[in-house]
Chains A and B, each alone.
Chain A
Amino acid sequence: MTNETSTENTIEGVIGERMTTKPDRAGEAGPAATEIRGVIETKDMSVFYGDFLAVASVSLNFGRNQISALIGPSGCGKSTVLRSLNRMNDLVATARTEGEVHYHGQNIYADGVDPVEVRRTIGMVFQKPNPFPKSIFDNISWGARINGFRGSKSEMADLVQQALEAAALWDEVKDKLADSGYSLSGGQQQRLCIARAIATQPDVILMDEPCSALDPIATLRIEELMLELKENYSIIIVTHNMQQAARVSDKTAFFNVKLNESGMRTGRLVEYSPTEQLFTSPTEKDTEDYITGRFG
């Protein structure tokens, strides 16, 4: 682990900075305005589970207010990479991350960085909708309270409404906020989970195959929602569905599994390109083989 020892530049400090500088795109001018600004950057990141090298030397720069997709065959390390971006892998006892993950320039693996705060700022939505066994209202208010929301009852009601509106769920549930989260359909439950993530006021939302348990209509609704959310958030999504990556993402990273000398199957980043380019004329032959269904 290449931890930085300096704690001057804490995540909280970075977040304070972000809050004051975030809606500044309109103010940008000149050639720099066309450049994509980064939000998370991995530098030579490798992830091990015990001795097993799951994914090696990933250097990626995820754009702010963009949707970035991670694709690749099973075992290529895309979910592992995603989980390393908000230190979710810390929860796996054997997991170890090498290299650096910078969030607005600050290494989130540096000493003194609070992983809980990292996960609040860089939220995650999982493959299977996982609402709490509570009311729709409480699903959102709980997460917010746990993450330090100190507002009054009416402020909480506002927060819940805003989060549900942002997740395009408000109109469907506003008259039954006291009903259980489980009473909702799969697609609605997933949007409830997105609302819950939004309520903690994150900057980045990680999504781990958020639509794989949903029917096509619910999937399209989530995709529409993602396109709306990117106005205010940066989204990084792992998906098995190449068409989904093609539909929603701005940039796509393709990972593949490579056998190393000792026969170990390790995930590697093959290509990271604008989505349109990656799916019409990729640079790497591995990518071409994968997206045309030729698989080694």
Chain B
Amino acid sequence: MTGIKDTNVHFHQELEELERKVLSMVDRAEQMVEMAVQAVTSDDTELARRVVELDQGIDLTYAEVHQDWTSLMARNQPLGSDLRRMAVLIQLNVTFERMGDQCVNIAKIAQLNHGLPRVERICEQIREMGDLVRPMIRTAIEAYVRGDVDEARLLPAMDQPVDRLNANMYKETVAVGNNAQLLEWATKMLMVSRALERVGDQAVDFGEQTAYLMTGEWAEFDEDGMARPIDDNDSI
């Protein structure tokens, strides 16, 4: 095999730099999920404040990525896998920014719920959801970095218990009874559950982007991580 020379070195360096920036967002989002769950389940408003602060960093990076992406696109007209990577990065930029927003939603609920009475059982479930969602983000990151489509395809299966716990949260909320303060607290925890469920979905989206990058074919995953036929796509 004769050596392949990269005649597009500068572009590829900038593309890698852009990719690092985008991945730094999801690293931070993963950390924020842990902090936000901890804050909301242990009534830690200081921790909640730090989550909101961290999100400002994500928002700054989001704006930077948008700027860098547009500039790269204008100066180079990437093709092939470079083009697919660019398409994936602009999509992930939005996905990760929203992941951060979900964590902020949870943190703000932690602040609103401060001092209210609580139900330990519900806190347990929220912690469990957090413990399921964070490994999903980690798996999605690793699948992307390794270009491992099989690993990305595991994500829908990992997401299923998250969806089940979220669906169950309504029952838990109703079960808290008529105490007004307890009900106020539990209703907000329903929104926390919903936010974590969204983060799980965003991790699955991340996996779908990895599959597109590697295969060149865009498809949503079905629950087994296989390509869902377009005409069968009745979600949303």
Contacts and interface: CB of A to CB of B under 8 A. Distances in A.
B79 A246 contact: yes
A154 interface: no
B2 interface: yes
Contact of A295 (B7, B79, B80): B7
A280 B78 CA distance: 9
Contacts of A282: 80
Contact of B80 (A243, A288, A296): A288
Interface string B1-14: 11111111001100
Interface stretch (B40-48, B81-89, B131-139): B81-89
A281 B12 CA distance: 18
Nearest to B2: A296
Contacts of B6: 293-295
Interface residues of B, number: 21
Nearest to A283: B216
Contacts, number: 51
A296 B3 contact: yes
Most buried by A among B1, B2, B8: B8
Interface residues of A, number: 17
B77 A280 contact: no
B124 interface: no
Given A280-B84, A281-B84, A281-B216, A242 B8 contact: no
Nearest to B85: A292
A294 B12 CA distance: 10
Nearest to B15: A292
Given A280-B84, A292-B79, A294-B5, 19 more contacts: A259-B2, A279-B80, A280-B80, A280-B216, A281-B81, A281-B215, A281-B217, A282-B80, A287-B80, A288-B81, A291-B80, A292-B78, A292-B81, A293-B6, A293-B7, A293-B12, A295-B4, A296-B1, A296-B5
Interface of A: 242-243, 246, 259, 279-282, 287-289, 291-296
21 contacts: A242-B79, A243-B77, A280-B79, A281-B217, A282-B80, A288-B80, A288-B81, A291-B79, A292-B8, A292-B78, A292-B81, A293-B6, A293-B7, A293-B11, A293-B12, A294-B4, A294-B5, A294-B8, A296-B2, A296-B4, A296-B5
